[in-house]
């Protein structure tokens, strides 16, 4: 059973389009992190959200943590080919530092 459901699994869009990736769970997380992974590399942390309802912006990326700390979303505005990669959400339970990863979203931004 996947504790963190991530959708969509695959996304192919044209440069300049907007997109949203969702991460949902029935469990409450003490924090939720978003990573981007490129082939041959480990995941790179984009953001950590901790407070329910929190919104963080990183240039064209907007991250939101649900009020109940069970879900999160990543919105990319005006996607660029450099945004191509595997996006992973990961929840931390019980402040244990152990991460449960979502299934991932493979994003392809076509020029």
Partner 1 sequence: SAVISQKPSRDICQRGTSLTIQCQVDSQVTMMFWYRQQPGQSLTLIATANQGSEATYESGFVIDKFPISRPNLTFSTLTVSNMSPEDSSIYLCSVTTGESFFGPGTRLTVL
Binding residues for partner 1, rule: CB under 8 A, are 6, 33, 35, 40-45, 48, 88, 90, 97-104
Contact 61, 32 (CB under 8 A): no
Rounded CA separation 6/81 (Å):
22
- Residue 39 or 111 having the CB closest to partner 1: 39
Least distance from partner 1 to the Cβ atom of residue 81, Å = 22
Q: How far is the CB of 68 from partner 1 (least distance, A)?
A: 23
Q: CB-wise, 67 or 106, nearer to partner 1?
A: 106
Nearest-approach distance from CB 91 to partner 1, in angstroms: 12
Tokens of 108: 């392809």
Q: How far apart are CA 39 and CA 24, in angstroms?
A: 25
CB-nearer residue toward partner 1: 47 or 109: 47
Contact 24, 85 (CB under 8 A): no
């Amino acid at each position: 059973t996947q504790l963190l459901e991530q959708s969509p699994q695959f996304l192919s869009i044209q440069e300049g389009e907007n997109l949203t990736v969702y991460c949902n769970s029935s469990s409450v997380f003490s924090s939720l992190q978003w990573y981007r992974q490129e082939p041959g590399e480990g995941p790179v942390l984009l953001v950590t959200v901790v407070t329910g309802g929190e919104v963080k912006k990183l240039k064209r990326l907007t991250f939101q943590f649900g009020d109940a700390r069970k879900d999160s979303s990543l919105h990319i505005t005006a996607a660029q080919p450099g945004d191509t990669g595997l996006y992973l959400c990961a929840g931390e339970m019980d402040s244990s530092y152990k991460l449960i990863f979502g299934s991932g979203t493979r994003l392809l931004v076509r020029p």
